[in-house]
Amino acid sequence: MAPKYHPTPLSGGDRKALAKELGKARAMTTILATQSAEARAKGEALIKQADQLLSESWNERTWANGEPIDPSPTIDQAINGGYSWLQIECSRCKSAREVDLAALNHPSTTFVHDLASRLRCRKCAKAGKRPAANLLQLAQRRRHSDPET
């Protein structure tokens, strides 16, 4: 974008006044840019906190009801809130494992509870079965080491 053109006034007093106003405008842009960056940082911190609280709330509701609850956080919200692992259990053989949400090949706007029908147990798949997974909870870090991955 081309800079705005301000025609220079003919009188000396008007030139000084214009120079003063242009200096104030340049200083104000720096102040406003700094305030904008601070507000954006505060907003991002609040969004991260909100996503963390949403993930914790979903974990508590899931634990209290014994099954995944709709609505759940999206994959993006869970990861942004610090919950990047999903603990699941096979509905057939009851083997537990963790799924890295960041490594999933799904849109980040997918809800966590929608993953139950898409995730499958590897042990049962080798046996020719395809039972759906039971979602247990979101976790901040991996709890079990998975020798199969």
What secondary structure letter does DSSP report for 115? G
Q: What is the pTM of this model?
A: 0.70
Cβ(73)–Cβ(112) under 8 Å? Answer: yes
pLDDT in tens, 21-73: 889 998 999 999 999 999 999 999 999 999 999 999 999 988 888 777 778 89
Residues 6+ apart with CB under 8 A from 55: 73, 77, 78, 81, 82, 83, 138
Q: Are 99 and 134 in contact (CB under 8 A)?
A: no
For residue 98, name the pLDDT band (cuts at 50, 70, 90).
Answer: confident
Contacts of 77 (CB under 8 A, 6+ apart): 51, 54, 55
Cβ–Cβ < 8 Å for 134, 93: no
Q: What's the rounded Cα separation, in Å, for the pair 100 and 115?
A: 12
**Which residues is 111 bridged to in the sheet?**
74
Using DSSP's 3-state secondary structure scheme, residue 39 falls into helix
